[in-house]
């Protein structure tokens, strides 16, 4: 059987007891390492699991899945995913390949904590979130703004928007690739500050009042870890805030943010007086 096992968000101890038992008896153990990353090194996982772990990068998962699935119809193979297995469509694709395999490979999924649920630590109700969007690194010649339309739809309904930030792991250098050489860039992880700045930049062009300087937002970093960080404020304030090491995410607060949500979120405010003033003017239940 292929077991797709969620690892949670922080370190080697976030795996479930059931998942750990499977890892320790599996024939092979893979760690998916490009849709997200844990906050500890592979060696720390191996020490805790008592097993060697094969790092599965994008190329292996998308182009060499047959190697991962080899003999999985007769032996146990564990595929480890940071967060929850089905938070990324990549893992749905892997499960589909098992179904389409001849003969079909049995699969079992073990869920775990995901940023999609852990973001409730901000005090915002998960019931009040709209579509989740992704923010990619801008370049001088490429500044995609398709996320803005989804945010605008959420905004129209007064819903919060979770923004997942870009990570670049084992990305080829395009200049070297053009010369026929494969050279990988150093890993990069988008920060809350970069995301907030890019959103403000797009607002200056789109001008629908969706993510301007005074839009209330909450930045989070390393949720679920001992050193998690949560800060609330305007996008302008967050564009200058230092959240430390990855991974980061950002939430845009919807206009119908309930008073209870506001009371909890304000405890993380960079400037409580400013945060309160904007909320009372533009958010919450309007008479």
Bind-site residues? 9, 84, 114-115, 165, 223, 248
C-alpha torsion 202→151→166→31, nearest 10: -170
- List residues bridging with 269 in a β-sheet: 232
Smallest CA-to-CA distance from 59 within 136, 171, 178, 134 is with 171
Residues in binding site for S-adenosyl-L-methionine: 9, 84, 114-115, 165, 223, 248
Q: Are 26 and 18 in contact (CB under 8 A)?
A: no
Q: What is the largest CA-CA distance in the chain?
A: 64
Separation CA 132–CA 119 (nearest Å): 12
Separation CA 18–CA 235 (nearest Å): 41
Per DSSP, helices labelled H in 13-167 are: 17-25, 42-49, 58-63, 65-69, 89-100, 115-118, 147-156
Q: Are 200 and 213 in contact (CB under 8 A)?
A: yes
SS3 for 233?
strand
């Amino acid at each position: 059987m292929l077991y797709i096992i969620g690892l949670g968000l922080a370190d080697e101890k976030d795996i479930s007891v059931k998942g750990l038992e499977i890892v320790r008896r599996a024939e092979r153990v893979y760690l998916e390492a490009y849709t997200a990353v844990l906050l500890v090194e592979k060696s720390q996982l191996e020490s805790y699991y008592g097993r060697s772990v094969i790092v599965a990068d994008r190329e292996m998962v998308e182009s060499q899945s047959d190697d991962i699935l080899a003999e999985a119809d007769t032996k146990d193979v564990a595929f480890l995913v940071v967060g929850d297995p089905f938070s990324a469509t990549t893992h749905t694709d892997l499960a589909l390949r098992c179904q389409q395999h001849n003969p079909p490979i049995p699969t079992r999924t073990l869920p775990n904590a995901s940023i999609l649920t852990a973001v409730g630590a901000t005090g915002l109700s998960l019931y009040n979130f709209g579509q989740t969007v992704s923010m990619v690194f801008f370049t001088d010649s490429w500044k995609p703004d398709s996320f803005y339309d989804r945010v605008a739809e959420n905004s129209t309904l007064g819903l919060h928007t979770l923004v997942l930030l870009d990570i670049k792991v084992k990305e080829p250098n395009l200049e070297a690739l053009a010369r026929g050489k494969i050279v990988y860039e150093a890993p990069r992880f988008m920060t809350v500050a970069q995301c907030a700045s890019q959103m403000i930049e797009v607002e200056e062009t789109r001008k629908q009042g969706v993510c301007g300087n005074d839009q209330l937002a909450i930045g989070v970093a390393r949720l679920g870890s001992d050193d998690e960080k949560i800060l609330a404020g305007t996008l302008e304030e967050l564009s200058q805030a230092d959240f430390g090491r990855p991974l980061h995410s950002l939430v845009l607060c919807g206009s119908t943010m309930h008073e209870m949500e506001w009371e909890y979120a304000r405890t993380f405010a960079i400037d409580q007086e400013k945060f309160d003033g904007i909320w009372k003017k533009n958010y919450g239940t309007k008479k």
